[in-house]
Structure 1
């Protein structure tokens, strides 16, 4: 009798422990867009550009935001002199970076239903689904739905540029 009571008590305690751990996992705070990009390790150029444009506080703000984020390989497609000139011109850099951000949290399942999205910069991004892939202004979306505490990140294989 004592052994069965001990087994039942152990099972109940184990269930409670698992329940608490599951609850803690679910309520674990996600990082914001900037901290998520930093932690990923593949957005160092983007993070440097966001810092140079003084957009860190904005992208750490309440949001929600959807960021079509070029990774380091995307920025590497831009000639170094051109990229350095862009980073040195805060107004132009801000224009380009805010062209990658849409107000609201737009998950991939919703992005594929759109033909365009208005950026916080003011111009629209063209969205196209072809060959089973999603393209934003011709740049391929190579990863989706990286959820953050203040929005979502979709990764682009190229930097997209606004119209002049």
Structure 2
């Protein structure tokens, strides 16, 4: 890359590194892994920087790269969940709304949603993309986004162990 391209990339990186790290954290639920995912996404972006004609689409490319890296990372054998003989019991009758609901409850529940559904939920509800924007970012149809959203919300409700109002 020439000097001008390097300077443009450096400016973009400085402006977007917190955004990428925060999005990566929402996708994986771990700040250390989020750093790795953001780094992976920026390295991929740097490799293609000269080939990006539409600079307005750079955020979408970065977002798509983050999602793909998170999904790929979740498929690695050492990241798979381990099964146990008995599930830990929740306190009898306790629901999320019976105690102080925290952001951590939501993030913990989100972490247990399958990666593709988690990506759709993060892009829709945390990044504020509409259905067509998520479809474009993930390279799938709008119908797939809608079904993954519905399944992801249902899984999140199950993980939180309660009826959660997701329509408002």
Q: Using structure 1 for the length normalisation, give the TM-score.
A: 0.29
* Larger strand percent: 1
Q: Using structure 2 for the length normalisation, give the TM-score.
A: 0.28
> Higher relative contact order at CA 8 Å, sep ≥6: structure 1 or structure 2?
1
Which structure would you say has the larger Rg?
1
* Larger helix percent: 2
